[in-house]
Amino acid sequence: MSVSALIVAIDGPAASGKSTVAKRIAKELGIVFVSSGGMYRAFTWLTLEKGISPADTDAVIALLGETEFKGGEEEGLGTFAVNGRFLTREELSAADVNSNVSVIATIPEVRARLVAEQRAYAEKTGLVMEGRDIGSVVFPDTPYKFYIDASPEVREQRRRAEGITDSIAARDKTDSSRKASPLVVPEDAIVVDSSELSVEEVVERVIAEIGVRSGRPS
């Protein structure tokens, strides 16, 4: 197996720790980390910036048609520009983006466009991508599928500790109940409950399972 072909899909609900874990795994494996949520967030930011209501699906789809996306990579991190603009961490996790991103993510046209962008990353490099539908829809053929979970209490606590205003229960509900590629545990995914585990423990578990599934136990 060549490293460039390695695609690790990590899904899970909001604040399950999957982003921290995915970043660490990418670093250990020497491949690129991509946050697919960041892509939905970037387009949500643009929608709000243009004064478009996320509930106005026709206007959002019209904006999508006029928007240029560009995925890239910098020092092992996947980057994503909307109309030539890279957004800051603060912009991507602003309260109004947090509260509207799941509505934008229910729109099938938005998903189709961003899934194509997500697949484009894999044409150039091996990667660890985290999101909600990475194992189920974006890369269904990869054997390296993980679902990182944590109890609702632990997840709320993690967000509070980060000082971020984020109604994760509402987002989880929208993400799990939407018609277009809802958050699901992919059938052949390994589920890791991170509630009682340290980041290191989750990373070790995932790396060990990648070794097992590649036929090279570590």
Binding flag, residue 133, ligand C5P (CB under 6 A): yes
23 to 42: interface string for ligand C5P, x by CB under 6 A: -------------xx--xx-
> Which of 113, 132, 145, 158 forms a contact with ligand C5P (CB under 6 A)?
132
Q: For residue 84, give the nearest of 108, 66, 111, 59 by alpha carbon.
A: 66
Residue 5 token pair: 């072909």
170 to 199: interface string for ligand C5P, x by CB under 6 A: -x---x------------------------
Tally of CB atoms within 10 A around 205: 17
Binding flag, residue 101, ligand C5P (CB under 6 A): yes
> Which of 9, 10, 82, 105 forms a contact with ligand C5P (CB under 6 A)?
105
Tokens 């590649």 -> residue: 214
Give all strands (DSSP E) within 53-157, no chain letters. 69-74, 77-82, 85-86, 127-131, 144-149
| Cβ 190 to ligand C5P shortest distance, Å | 18
CA distances from 163 to 42, 94, 174 (A): 20, 11, 23
| Cα(159)–Cα(165) distance, integer angstroms | 8
The footprint of ligand C5P on this chain (CB under 6 A) covers a number of residues equal to: 14
What is the contact surface with ligand C5P in residues (CB under 6 A)?
14, 36-37, 40-41, 101-102, 105, 131-134, 171, 175
